[in-house]
Amino acid sequence: MVLFKKVLVANRGEIAVRVIKACQEMGVKTVAIYSDVDKDAPHVQLADETVGLGDPTPIQSYLNISKIIKIAQDVGAEAIHPGYGFLAENPDFAMSCDDAGVKFIGPSSKVIGLMGDKIAAKKTMEKAGVPVIPGYHGLKQDVSTLVREGKKIGFPLLVKAAAGGGGKGMRIVYSEDTLEESIESAKRESKSSFGDDTVFLEKYLDKPRHIEFQILADEYGNTIHLFERECSIQRRHQKIIEETPSPVVSKELRRRMGEAAVKAAQAVGYSNAGTVEFMVDGDLNFYFMEMNTRLQVEHPITEMTTGVDLVKWQLRIASGMKLTLKQKDLFQRGHAIECRIYAEDPRNGFLPSVGTLEKIEVPTGPNIRDDSGICTGMKITPYYDPLLAKLVVSAENREESIQKMIWALSHYVVMGVTTNISFLKKVLEHEEFRRGNITTHFIDNYFKDWTTAKKGLPVDAIIALAVYDLMHRRTHEVVRYKEADPHSPWKHVGRWRVGGI
């Protein structure tokens, strides 16, 4: 089977750089697309061909399906790699690629749509025998039914929006007294944010951990997993530090979770790279949460410990090649940690920071990897995700990996915008983190003073919050946004997210 000759990368920033480099290493020509504010960005400088998108607003640039498809056809690209975010989990985009005769590097539009519907996804997993969190995922959405089902589940419980994520339309209910009001409130917010007031109910887990499994599947039914990633260090429902192996996953638990992840992928006929995400409670019971039908931000730590290049395998699988990796031959070596470096102010509620990058110094050394989409002189605007780079290190064990990351962060310099580098160091230095005693509530529990904005929002931050939230919605919501814009930036202050990235 022959690889593609030319691939269009429908993204920007560090992930566009990552994909372009992988393509070029395999002898595949690349096409970068860019908005007006990205004309001098690293991914544009690196690609073999470049085509401008014009208007920098996401809807008119990196979310513009018809414009991107036409560019791919005009330049003769045989395939499109969506990266993550933007259109990566948009079933309409995947279908449009198919209709245009351009290969979408990812799963089918049908699978993307199924896994994007949280209720349908959980029902599918239940039928496949994959553990799901006890709850109500039914179609009856009247408040009285939901209240009755909530009482059956018991307290505390979660009310969650079916169409969204990142905290929108989600309520923790501790008693029967607040159940009805919480359901009504969650429905209103879900309707406002996603145009859909469907919610479901789940048992609230004690000491929850977020642990995911990387999977690869070809188009011939061969499926493997590449072990777990611990993603419990989050602020506002977004991961900021990931590591592998997880400090709590035993060999036996890893086997059972890995088998469940493979079973989940096979249940929907999955192909290409994907991630099955689980919640794990204090007793190490695990439950399916969702499946991300794309490459994950944190994929480098899997690559560092397994030696498998996930992006290259995405290209091979999409071109029709069979998966030659066998589960029995895969193993992890050492321990890897990733820190996401953001243009944001941790001391002011993690609000986005904008400005011009005046100086950048990146740490170097054995087993230190910097996946970056920035350069000196580049302007960080309010239009896009404020992720600047991903710093990744690996060492022989967790203790050494933590210490190495602290050193690397101490030697990472970004001037011109406020970053979260110092905050990441403080988390890594925390005694409970070093012990591996982490949950998704870690930052709220130990860094509560950092999570609230301490002063008024500048206009740039307001715009960034709204655009950022829009950019990462599961993409059937993007279509609604084009038709009507009910999403005032003021509604998103303090709740911005990266939709599961």
Q: What pLDDT was estimated at residue 40?
A: 96
In the Cβ-directed half-sphere of 263, how many Cα atoms lie within 13 Å? Answer: 15
Residue 330's pLDDT is what?
A: 98
Alpha-carbon distance 16 to 33, whole Å?
A: 9
In 318-475, at which residue ranges do the beta strands (DSSP E only) sit?
335-342, 344-345, 351-352, 355-356, 359-361, 368-372, 379-380, 387-395, 413-415
pLDDT for the residue 428: 98
473 pLDDT more than 80: no
Distances (CA, A) of 10 to 35, 72, 126, 479: 11, 9, 34, 18
pLDDT tens, residue by residue, 358-368: 999 999 999 99
> Domain 335-450: which topology?
D-amino Acid Aminotransferase; Chain A, domain 1 (3.30.470)
pLDDT at 92: 97
Calculate what percentage of the chain has a pLDDT beyond 70. 89
The confidence score (pLDDT) of residue 209 equals: 97
pLDDT band at 492 (very low <50, low <70, confident <90, very high): very low
Q: Is the pLDDT of residue 481 over 60?
A: no
Rounded Cα–Cα distance for residues 272 and 317 (Å) = 6
- Cα separation of 8 and 76, whole Å? 9
Task: Encode pLDDT of 211-268 as tens digits.
Answer: 999 999 999 999 999 999 999 999 988 999 999 999 999 999 999 999 999 999 999 9
Total-model pTM? 0.87
Residue 337 has a pLDDT of: 99
d(CA 347, CA 351): 9
Q: Higher-confidence residue: 139 or 391?
A: 391
- Partners of 394 in beta bridges: 336
The DSSP-derived string for 141-159 is: --HHHHHHHHHHH-SSEEE
> Which 3-state string (H, E, C) describes 399-429?
HHHHHHHHHHHHCCEEECCCCCHHHHHHHHH
Say if CB 385 and CB 497 are below 8 A apart. Answer: no
In this structure, what token pair is assigned to residue 240? 């900021």
For residue 489, what are the contacts with CB-CB under 8 A and spacing of at least 6? 462, 463, 465, 466
Instruction: Please determine, for residue 302, whether its predicted confidence score (pLDDT) is greater than 80.
Output: yes
Residue 222's region, left for phi above 0, alpha for psi from -120 to 50, else beta, is beta
At 50, the pLDDT band (50, 70, 90 cuts) reads very high
pLDDT exceeds 80 at position 433: yes
SS3 287: strand
pLDDT at 450: 77
The architecture CATH gives domain 134-203: 2-Layer Sandwich (3.30)
In this predicted structure, what is the pLDDT of residue 14? 98
Q: What pLDDT is attached to residue 236?
A: 82
- pLDDT of 189: 93
Higher pLDDT: 195 or 418? It is 418
pLDDT, position 461: 54
Mean pLDDT of 18-46: 98
Lowest mean pLDDT among 62-76, 164-178, 436-450: 164-178
Query: Tell me, what's the pLDDT at 183?
Result: 96
> Cβ(220)–Cβ(324) under 8 Å?
no
Sorted by sequence, the CB contacts under 8 Å of residue 111 that are 6+ apart come out as 268, 269, 270, 271, 293
Among 198, 143, 134, 210, which residue's Cα sits nearest to residue 168?
198
Classify domain 6-105 by CATH architecture.
Answer: 3-Layer(aba) Sandwich (3.40)
- Distance (Å, whole) CA 172 – CA 156: 7
pLDDT tens for residues 375-423? 999 999 999 999 999 999 999 999 999 999 999 999 999 999 999 999 9
* pLDDT of amino acid 119: 85
Q: Running DSSP on this structure, what letter comes out for residue 205?
A: P
Q: Report which of residues 475 and 425 the model is more confident about.
A: 425
**pLDDT tens, residue by residue, 445-462:** 999 887 665 555 555 555
The confidence band for 477, taking pLDDT boundaries of 50, 70 and 90, is very low
Mean pLDDT of 464-472: 52
Q: Residue 74: CB partners within 8 Å, gap ≥ 6?
A: 51
Instruction: Indicate the pLDDT class of residue 123, thresholds 50, 70 and 90.
Output: very high
State how far the Cα of 296 lies from the Cα of 274, in Å rounded to an integer.
8
What is the spatial distance between Cα 143 and Cα 184, in angstroms, rounded to a whole number?
7
Q: Which of 235, 294, 473, 474 is catalytic?
A: 294
Q: Is the pLDDT of residue 205 over 80?
A: yes
Q: Do domains 134-203 and 335-450 have the same CATH topology?
A: no
Task: Please tell me the predicted confidence (pLDDT) of residue 482.
Answer: 33
For the chain, give every domain's residue range.
6-105, 134-203, 335-450, 459-492
Q: DSSP assignment, residue 105?
A: S
Confidence band for 20, pLDDT divided at 50, 70 and 90: very high
Tokens of 151: 């009482």
Query: Are the C-beta atoms of 158 and 204 separated by less than 8 Å?
Result: yes
Catalytic status, residue 254: no
Is the pLDDT assigned to residue 112 strictly greater than 80? Answer: yes
> Exposed, middle or buried by CB within 10 Å (0-12, 13-18, 19+), for 131?
middle
Q: What is the DSSP letter of 77?
A: -
